[in-house]
Amino acid sequence: MSKSKKERGICELYAEDPERADYLVFGRVADKGRRGFLKGAGLVTMGAALGAAIPFHRNMPAGLIPAAYAESLADFKIAGKNGLTVLNDRPINAETPAHLLNDDITPTDRLFIRNNGLPPENMDPATWTLTIDGDVERPMTLSIDDLKREFEVVSYALQLECGGNGRSAFNPPARGNQWSLGAVGNCMWTGVRLVDVLNAVGVKPTAIYTAHYGADTHLSGDPDKLPISRGVPIEKAMSPYNLIAFEQNGGPIHPMNGAPLRLVVPGWPGSCSQKWLTRIQLRDVEHDGPKMTGSSYRVPKNNVAPGTDVPKEDFEIIHSMPVKSLITLPETGITLPAGTTVAAVRGHAWAGDNFISRVDVSHDFGTTWTETNLMVPPNPYSWQTWEVDVPLPEPGYYEIWARATDSEGNQQPFAINWNPKGYLNNTMPRVAVTVGA
Ligand SMILES: Nc1nc2c(c(=O)[nH]1)N[C@H]1C(S)=C(S)[C@@H](COP(=O)(O)O)O[C@H]1N2
Ligand SMILES: [Mo]
């Protein structure tokens, strides 16, 4: 975990400005010194955080740190999540420490959370509907039961990674959530194929882009503003691995991961995977919703030197995510007992629309590399697990580095490809291991 200046303990946050802290943590400004105003999404969020409804919430003084919280935001518990590190610059953004991502399939309680706005109050699957409209022959509004009844239900392991994962390593720093390594995961998602639904409504030849809409609300509370609405080119939308998902790991979708219905568009920035999905519109132009324009999810067309002020017209929209790996075992910073001569090393690798062809590790600062045992993925767009035993010939400090290569021959770089908004950091992961003397 990088120790960026943005990380503050929850106590410090509340001491400085309790109302702002309430806003950051729960997404609502308290009014007249009470949280009575904290209805709706703010209350749902606080309830979710505490793991129960709050019968006397109207009496709860604003700016009071709930006693259920430990000392710091890092220990702030989100019901149904376990061990995540909470970043504090927006309502509920939380990442997973690398060593807690060791499973092939990421458990629901370990999947990161990236919210741009406030989660909807009502997440009832029985009344939820999805509208598909725009440049289609037969616009439709379907319930979740309709989706299950009318389309084939499939399950895939799909990697989901925030476009800004790894941003905390940028220098000069890039504004935004200071993710270290853990805004990524690989859950088993169950739903219907987006392409099947698009074929059922009949995509008009004029449609070139999708536009995704969710039920979450803007941080300002302004009902006319959307927190985020992104889309993908129609060619990507037609991939058979995009799901309109209603289950996560065989159970309900976690409220913060988009219950009761979300898109999973694997291999592209996580922002394409609209949570709390209510509408998919087909458009005859590149979609221009919030976080589609300007420099959002865009990088300079050509590499630039760190700190370069890049003109808007030189940016292009991010499509596939780059080749990347994560070391999940051993946990970085550990000391192994004296006499240890070998370490079991394990992790995952993924490459946007591509497959992984090999993962190598080094235990001598990149001088020599050993090819790891790479697993076959259960389906395309799943991350691929790899493992290897690494020799640690004598006591002392070691670094284990991993380097993935994808099916197109792309390889993880050592140094960051700097860009102004801090996207796509796919540098080789490194863990520190000490063998005791
Ligand atoms: N409706 C809605 N969908 C959303 C977002 C959001 O804020 N609102 N965040 C997006 C971003 S930026 C990412 S990285 C992923 C994160 O998914 P997760 O929170 O389930 O991990 O959701 C995407 N879908
Ligand atoms: Mo994201």
| Atom of ligand 1 minimally distant from the CA of 117 | 7
The verdict on 306 and 339 lying in the same domain is no
Quote the pLDDT of residue 40.
Answer: 54
Query: Is 144 a domain residue?
Result: yes
Do 132 and 117 lie in one domain? The reply is yes
**Closest protein CA for atom 5 of ligand 1:** 115
Q: Are residues 295 and 405 in the same domain?
A: no
Q: Which of 258, 293, 317 is the last residue of a domain?
A: 317
Q: Output Rg (C-alpha) for the chain, integer angstroms.
A: 22
- Alpha-carbon span 352 to 344, nearest angstrom: 27
- For residues 151 and 232, state if they share a domain: yes
Domain of 406: which CATH number? Answer: 2.60.40.650
| CATH number where 265 lies | 3.90.420.10
Q: How far is the CA of 162 from the centre of ligand 2 (A)?
A: 4
Token representation of residue 373: 């045992």
Q: Are residues 56 and 112 in the same domain?
A: no
Enclosing domain of residue 42: 10-69
Q: Say yes or no to pLDDT of 267 above 90.
A: yes
| Amino acid in position 223 | P
Q: Residues lining ligand 1, judged by CB closer than 6 Å?
A: 111-117, 160, 162, 214, 216, 227-228, 257-258, 270-271, 273-276
* pLDDT band of 67, cuts 50, 70, 90: low
Give the β-pairing of 129-134 and 277-283: parallel
pLDDT of residue 92: 82
List CB-based neighbours of ion ligand 2 within 5 Å: 114, 162, 270-271
Ligand 2 centre to CA of 430 (Å) is: 23
Per the structure, the count of domains in the chain is 3
For the CA of 112, the nearest atom of ligand 1:
21
The fraction of the chain above a pLDDT of 70, given in percent, is: 82
Ligand 1 pocket mutation pick from 167, 271, 272 by most atoms within 8 angstroms of CB: 271
Q: Which residue has the higher pLDDT, 13 or 386?
A: 386
Backbone angles phi, psi at 267, to 5 degrees: 85, -15
Q: Is 96 a member of any domain?
A: no
Residues 311 and 195 in one domain: yes
53 shares a domain with 115 = no
pTM of the prediction? 0.86
Say if 1 falls within a structural domain: no
Residue 223 sits at the vertex; the CA angle it makes with 270 and 268, to the nearest 5 degrees, is: 10
Q: Which ligand is in closest contact with the Cα of 218?
A: 1
CA of 340 to the centre of ligand 1 (A): 42
DSSP for 56-78 reads TGGGSBTTPPPTTS-SSGGG---
Give yes or no: residues 153 and 31 share one domain: no
Same domain membership, residue 285 and residue 181: yes
Average pLDDT over residues 45-54: 67
Q: 231 or 83: whose pLDDT is higher?
A: 231
**Nearest ligand, CA 95:** 1
> Within a domain: residue 88?
no
In a domain, 83, yes or no: no
- List, in sequence order, every beta strand (DSSP E) within 224-378: 243-248, 262-264, 277-283, 298-300, 315-317, 324-329, 334-336, 342-350, 356-362, 370-371, 373-374
Residues 88, 13: contact at Cβ < 8 Å?
A: yes
Q: Which ligand is nearest to the CA of 266?
A: 1
Q: Are residues 268 and 297 in the same domain?
A: yes
Last residue within a domain, chosen from 317, 335, 354: 317
Digit-coded pLDDT (tens) for 220-246: 888 899 999 999 999 999 999 999 999
Residues 276 and 157 in one domain: yes
Does residue 19 belong to any structural domain of this protein?
Answer: yes
- Residue 98 belongs to some domain of the structure: no
Domain boundary among 284, 317, 350: 317
pLDDT at 37 (0 to 100): 44
Do 43 and 170 sit in the same domain of this protein?
no
Q: Is the pLDDT of residue 273 over 50?
A: yes
pLDDT by residue (tens digit) across 10-32? Answer: 556 666 666 666 665 655 444 44
Q: Which ligand is nearest to the CA of 424?
A: 2
CB-based contacts of 151: which residues, under 8 Å, 6+ apart?
192, 193, 196, 197, 200
> To the nearest whole number, what is the mean pLDDT of the chain?
89
The answer to whether residue 369 is domain-embedded is yes
| 200 Cα: distance to centroid of ligand 1 (angstroms) | 26
> Which range, of 89-98, 150-159, 293-302, averages the lowest pLDDT?
89-98
